[in-house]
Each structure stands twice: as structure tokens, then as C-alpha cells.
Amino acid sequence: MTLLKKYIGRVYMYKNRWKISVQKDGKRKTFYSSTPGNKGQKECAEKAVTWLLSPDKVPLDERTTVDTVYQKYLEEKELETTDTYNIRNRYKNHIKPIIGSIRISRLTRQDMKRVIYTAYTERGLSKKSLKNLRGDLSNFCSYLDDSDIRNDLSTRNIKIPQNAEKGTKRALPAKDIRKVFTCHTTIYCNEEHEDWLINAYRFQIVTGFRPGELMGLEWGDIKENHIEIRRAINAKGKTTRGKNELARRDFPQTKHTRKIIEDQKKYRRNPHNPHERVFGDQGQISYRDRWGIFCKHNGIDYVTPYELRHTFASIYKEFIVGWVLDELMGHFHEGMTLGVYAHRMEGDMKAAPSLLEKYMDAILEDC
């Protein structure tokens, strides 16, 4: 949901005018529109959103540090997106220790280079992580410019070290996938019990869902022929619209997803509540810990929950058309911008359920 759509719903009619009151940093403002109909409602919401997104002047003096301004930048960022968990972590772990105490008036491009090179040499970050870090610094520079604080900083000449390693993507081998589908016990309180998350592990392997998407799945999202992905729950327990705009998608039902969902019904508390979460009120951290214990108990080489998504991709990457696999996983693909004919693409997508079943069957045939 965009910020505009969010606030349109809060606009109401008051004395023949549209009205909305919003608050930012302890300041409350009210906006009006006399334009009739939906146009006026939207106009009123736009006024509020413009004010909410407008950067406030940061009180500056010679002692103001990068940390003071960066914290303000993070507050502004949260008005744009709820997914700031990773941004905050990168700042806390890699940016703040290097430049947080520097006065904002004395910050240089060389200081920002030190952030990248320290993360590379001392922390061993991968090429992708270093690019994300540089992106954070670039966005911060834009914020400084937009806020009339500094307009002479950029990351344009900050290079990613050529020798930075590409992040390795691991996946479960076939023997361990079969173990996930045949084993069902774990250790809890020093005793062996049935793992109440066993269906979640299996479901993630056969769908390639992101961990947050798995956590956010509700019973009302389960349809006869497809599963709707409409939300994710991040590592801090916040519900978001997903990693990107493509994350909201429909995944075709297969015999494997149907079987897992049917098995999961015994854990359902209220069959009349469509908003009950399919795999319980589990958080990502707890889910990761329980998965690790399950792996150790059953002799499975551990991969992270996110790498269960890579496992799905590794099973199908040789057999399913690239753009179809990208859509199933909520990735961007070239067909969105190259004007590929829709009827040919629809034919590829219609074949997806049978292909998903065929190659998963090949993995599980010895189960």
C-alpha cells in the first residue's frame, strides 16, 4: 500500500469539505479540500502526504554529528517504507562505527570510502552486501542534498573492491530434501516430539516462499487453484507488503501444496477465521532456530530458511522457463519491459503446475 492510498482512507467529510489531520514529530496539522467527490478526497490526502514526506530542517551546529542526522534520515525513511530493518542494521553494524561520530560538516567522500573498505577487509562482506551498503550511503547523500545540509557529497567514485566475493547460495541436496519429507520429529525441552513446523519446512521447499511470506500466509489466502501472497512479516514482527512490488503474486496449487495444507489443518485453531496464520504465530527468528534444531536432530546439513528458497530455485532452474520461475518467486524479469507477447507467456505459465509436480516427484520418488 502506497502512502497516498493509506491516507486517502483517513480523509473524511466535515462541514462540506474533505478533512484529514496527521502528525509528524509531535506536530499535528490539518488539511482541507473543497473540491467535491473523489478528486477532492485525493487532493486532501496528497496535501497531507506532501507535508509528511517533506524533510524538516535538521537543527545544525558545528557539533552536529553524522549519527544525529542519520537517525533523522532513518525516521524519514520509515515514512516511505516499513521495511527499514536491514537498513538500520547496516547502519548500526557498518556505517555508524566508522563515521557516526564525525561532524556532518566535516564528512568527506573518503570517509564513506572507509565504510566500504572496512566492511570488505575486516568484515568480509560479499559484493552484494557491499553494494547494498554503498546504496545506503548514496541515499543518505541524497537526503543531505534534499534537506539543504550538504550538496557536495556523493558515492559516484566509490568502487566496490574487485576481489569481493560473490555471495554463495547454498541449497539442500536431494538426500536432505527427502529427509525433510520423511522425518517429522525434533527435540523440544530435551525430549523428542513431533515438529509442529514440519509442514512449514516442506511448504517452503515446494513453493520457494521467502521466510517472511511464509510467516504472513493466512488461511484466507489459500484458494482452490492458487495461493495468494499478499503480505510478509519481517524479522521484527512487522507486517509489510513484501520485499518489492512483485512479491504480491499468486502461486499455483499443486498436489504437493494441497497435501501439505491438508496436513496443516490439524493445527488450525479457528476454521472460521480467514486471518489466522497458516503456520501459527511464529516469528522468523524462532522459525530459524526451530529449523536448525530439526536439521541437527535428523542429520540434515544446515542451510538457512532463506536458502530453502534457493533450494526451490535449484530444483527447477533447468526445467522451467526463466521468466516463469522469476514470477513464481516474485522476481523481476525481462518480459515485463521487453514487450513479450502475452499469449505465449500465458502458455508457459499454464504449464507450470505440472512441471512443479513432475520434478518434485523426481526428488521425492524414494520417499
Domain span at residue 221 reads 174-364
Residues 261, 327 within the same domain: yes
Examine residue 163 and state whether it is found in any structural domain, yes or no.
no
The confidence score (pLDDT) of residue 246 equals 81
The confidence score (pLDDT) of residue 49 equals 86
Domains of the chain: total: 3
Residues 224, 102 within the same domain: no
Residues 138, 225 within the same domain: no
Residue that is last in its domain, among 126, 146, 166: 146
Residues 222, 354 within the same domain: yes
Examine residue 276 and state whether it is found in any structural domain, yes or no.
yes
Residues 207, 346 within the same domain: yes
The confidence score (pLDDT) of residue 179 equals 97
pTM of the model: 0.69
Residues 197, 289 within the same domain: yes
The confidence score (pLDDT) of residue 255 equals 97
Cα–Cα distance for residue pair 252/12, rounded to 1 Å:
40
Residues 12, 112 within the same domain: no
The confidence score (pLDDT) of residue 340 equals 38
The confidence score (pLDDT) of residue 82 equals 64
Per-block average pLDDT, block size 10, for the chain (367 residues)?
A: 76 87 82 87 87 71 92 85 83 97 96 96 92 96 91 94 84 96 95 97 97 96 96 87 84 97 96 96 93 97 94 92 87 52 52 93 84
Residues 245, 196 within the same domain: yes
Examine residue 60 and state whether it is found in any structural domain, yes or no.
no
Residues 228, 272 within the same domain: yes
The confidence score (pLDDT) of residue 290 equals 97
Examine residue 162 and state whether it is found in any structural domain, yes or no.
no
Examine residue 164 and state whether it is found in any structural domain, yes or no.
no
Residues 357, 295 within the same domain: yes
3-class SS letters over the chain: CCHHHHHHCCCEEECCEEEEEEEECCEEEEEEECCCHHHHHHHHHHHHHHHHHCCCCCCCCCCCEHHHHHHHHHHHHHHHCCCCHHHHHHHHHHHHHHHCCCEHHHCCHHHHHHHHHHHHHCCCCCHHHHHHHHHHHHHHHHHHHHCCCCCCCCCCCCCCCCCCCCCCCCCCCHHHHHHHHHCCEEEECCEEEECCCHHHHHHHHHHCCCHHHHHHCEHHHECCCEEEECCEECCCCCEECCCCHHHCEEEECCHHHHHHHHHHHHHCCCCCCCCCECCCCCCHHHHHHHHHHHHHHCCCCCCCHHHHHHHHHHHHCCCCCHHHHHHHHCCCCHHHCCCCCHHHHHHHHHCHHHHHHHHHHHHHCCC
Residues 284, 234 within the same domain: yes
Examine residue 97 and state whether it is found in any structural domain, yes or no.
yes
Examine residue 161 and state whether it is found in any structural domain, yes or no.
no
Residues 35, 139 within the same domain: no
The confidence score (pLDDT) of residue 75 equals 87
Examine residue 61 and state whether it is found in any structural domain, yes or no.
no
CATH code, 139: 1.10.150
